[in-house]
Amino acid sequence: MRKVILVLSMVILMIVLFVFYGNFLYTQPGPLKESKNIVIKKGNISSVLTQLQKEHLLTQNTSSAFIFRFVVFISKKKGALRAAEFTFPEHISMRQIIGILRYAKPVQHELTVPEGLTSYQIASLINQAPFLEGKITPPEEGTVLPQTYSYSWGTSRLQLLKKMQKAMEKTVEQIWQNRNDTGVLTSSKDMVILASIVEKETAIKIERPMVARVFINRLKQGMKLQSDATIIYALTKGKGHLDRALNRQDWKLINPYNTYWSDFLPPTPICSPGIAALKAVAHPVEGNLLYFVANGTGGHSFSSSLVEHNRNIKLRKKN
């Protein structure tokens, strides 16, 4: 009987020691010297444990490894350990590590798509962005909304592109539904096409509704838009910048994107316009504006007649 009691006492003592020591290893500050982001790759408990040890989040000894495996196993109903990129603070404990792997929000990265990029340039930007998977080809022109997007490690580039296109689709629909009907644009696609030209013609916010009015009035009167930006797109096919000035021969280029040659809007947008350009086309200023020319100081001079326009050209040359 005494032997049985002694054995039971030893077992209880060992259990108590195991619990206390295990809890110590589970809750004590870890060896990580400074906070850092770490990508936890997909795998079983052993591969995750090995990675945590290599990254110095856990000490490389048998006791810590056993406790880690034991805790993950007995608490598996609380959730699996996820593969993602997480931020781990300095001296993080094993308990905190497991909590992060189960519940923490993955690290978010950001990619900004500036206004006025072509689909070719946008595809290049996405393909060069880090922490994404796969490759994409240039989408349809004008289908991506320029803004900043967040994504996590392992997101597919195609998935991110679809997110950008969905944002554009939603934004265009909202702006189109709330537009001032000018009697010229027959579809939201026309609005995006004209907004892409406005986007390329001026970066000054206050000028965009004025540029939009010029083009809308020209379309109403059957005048050619005569936008240099459309010629550049025709020459480069949206794949880069034209490394020279336009010449008279360029203006005669027979191409549906050349609005010096064609009487209509280009067949597609020439870039992805931002929200400001879209709203400018949907809500242009009132008036009879038909011309604008760079004034030599970073902006443009607007006019309603050819006489005024020629006068503005002469003033620009004097400046």
Share of the chain above pLDDT 90, in %: 75
Residue with tokens 């406790």: 67
In a domain, residue 152? The reply is no
Mean pLDDT throughout 32-46? 93
Give the count of domains, the chain. 2
Judge whether 117 lies within some domain: no
* Pair 210, 307 in one domain: yes
Domain final position from 48, 71, 103 = 103
Q: Among 1-10, 173-182, 308-317, which range has the highest average pLDDT?
A: 173-182
**Is residue 22 pLDDT above 90, yes or no?**
no
Q: What is the pLDDT of residue 169?
A: 98
Q: Is the pTM of this model over 0.85?
A: yes
Q: Are 214 and 291 in contact (CB under 8 A)?
A: yes
> Residue 144 falls within a domain, yes or no?
no
Tens of pLDDT along 294-312?
888 888 988 999 889 888 8
Predicted pLDDT at 226: 95
List residues bridging with 39 in a β-sheet. 85
Residue 4 lies in a domain: no
What would the pLDDT profile of 181-224 be if each residue is shown by its tens digit?
A: 988 999 999 999 999 999 999 999 999 999 999 999 999 999 99
| Within a domain: 142 | no
Using the predicted structure, report yes or no on whether residue 82 has a pLDDT greater than 80: yes
**pLDDT value at position 63?**
85
Does residue 266 fall inside a structural domain?
Answer: yes
Would you say residue 96 has pLDDT above 70?
yes
Say yes or no: 190 and 82 in one domain.
no
| Of 207 and 18, more confident | 207
Q: Residues for the chain: how many in total?
A: 319
Mean pLDDT, rounded, of the chain? 91
Last residue of a domain, one of 63, 86, 103: 103
pLDDT of res. 309: 86
Tokens linked to 54: 């290599």
- Answer yes or no: is 190 within a domain: yes
Q: Indicate if 70 and 188 belong to the same structural domain.
A: no
197 backbone dihedrals φ, ψ, rounded to 5°: -70, -45
Last residue of a domain, which of 54, 86, 103?
Answer: 103
Structural domain boundaries, residue 293 = 182-318
Q: Is residue 176 part of a domain?
A: no
What does the pLDDT look like over 245-256, one tens digit per residue?
Answer: 888 898 889 999
Band (23; pLDDT cuts 50, 70, 90):
confident
Would you say residue 5 has pLDDT above 80?
no
* Residue-level pLDDT at 264: 92
Residue 99 sits in the same domain as residue 187: no
CATH number of the domain encompassing residue 92: 3.30.1490.480
- β-partners of residue 301 are 293
Q: Is the pLDDT of residue 7 over 60?
A: no
The count of other CB atoms within 10 Å of the CB of residue 66 is: 13
Greatest extent of the chain over all pairs of C-alpha atoms, in Å: 118
